[in-house]
Amino acid sequence: MLRAKEAHQKIYQDRRWKDLRALKYSDNPVCECCKRKYTEHIHHIIPFAQFIDLDYDKALEYAFDYDNLSSLCEACHIEVHKFMNMELEDFELLLEVLEEVDSNFNEYLLEVYRKNLEISVC
């Protein structure tokens, strides 16, 4: 089996990924999180990399699943990655604090967090 880093790079060099990425950019040219900026990154809602060493077929399934992708601007992409591994209590507290700042961002973060929590529990 490929080492994780090599497998990760192989997926991003795959024609299926390049085509899927182009389609997502085309379908969602505006950030799905803040809804204000143009898309700069295609984000895997559930990171496929967490499955590479455990179940490579599952990693491929998540890597090439259109419904597992979101179009994000750079700022939102950075922020989403900061929150993806938070404990549930910390995440809920953070959402309360940020509630009045940007409701689109909070809704998006909550959706991403819930999807990742479902996977980690399974």
Q: Give the tokens for residue 46.
A: 């559930």
> With a threshold of 0.85, does the pTM exceed it?
no
Which one has a higher pLDDT value, 59 or 116? 59
Which is it for strands 69-72 and 41-44: parallel, antiparallel or unpaired?
Answer: antiparallel
3-class DSSP state of 36: coil
Low-confidence winner among 10-14, 43-47, 53-57, 88-92 (lowest mean pLDDT): 88-92
For the record, the structure tokens of 87 come out as 């404990």
Q: What is the pLDDT of residue 95?
A: 58
State the DSSP code for 48.
G
pLDDT at 93 over 80: no
pLDDT of residue 121: 41
- Taking only the tens place, the pLDDT of each residue in 39-80 is 999 999 888 888 888 888 999 999 999 999 999 999 988 888
Mean pLDDT of the 6-33 span: 94
